[in-house]
Structure 1
């Protein structure tokens, strides 16, 4: 019986899609598109990437609770996700940037959830997430 359970568990694990780790160097290049709306400003207002102020500062976003950057006016959809416990990690951030509104609808279970972020990054989200994770270590 144990053998069948372990075999079944192994099949499930192998059948599940693996999340490929991103490439921070590629993500730095891809982030150029993001800086139209987002800056990366570290501690003591150290500018890491000069960018727009339409979106929140992305310094330290990996590991941070969603909708928690001080001074930014978040939309209702992302606030709802935060209330449900969304904390950004590389995997969910990569998924979010592909289609922010779709991500929020799925995460919250609310078909009316919308994101203020209208840009969709079809490719390279995992790289941008890896880059953002690496920046916070500087």
Structure 2
């Protein structure tokens, strides 16, 4: 009796059959796929630009300053007067944004206390300035 020799080649015919079946399935189902539509907003519904933010500055010695707009000069205030000024501005203009700009050598605790005081005063939009821009100098 003769011994049967083992084949050492890969039989690719079953793989080709599977790929052809998958190709036929994709070709049949591709026309049935629904295309999505995107509803873009119209130009009429553009929201108004946000109001100019008030800038609270915290200096390295703990001194607080306030600029009502980016073009107004900075006024040095104590904590109580600063909170009173900002809360009156927010009550006059609800949604008034306030930005805290602190020197990089200021303790984190001072910045967070200022942020907490502004939140307790009723300011809803408080942000932190991360880098001094040309207009902030």
Normalised by the length of structure 2, the TM-score is: 0.24
Larger strand fraction of residues: 2
Which structure has the bigger radius of gyration?
Answer: 2
- Highest relative contact order (Cα 8 Å, sep 6+), 1 or 2? 1
Normalised by the length of structure 1, the TM-score is: 0.24
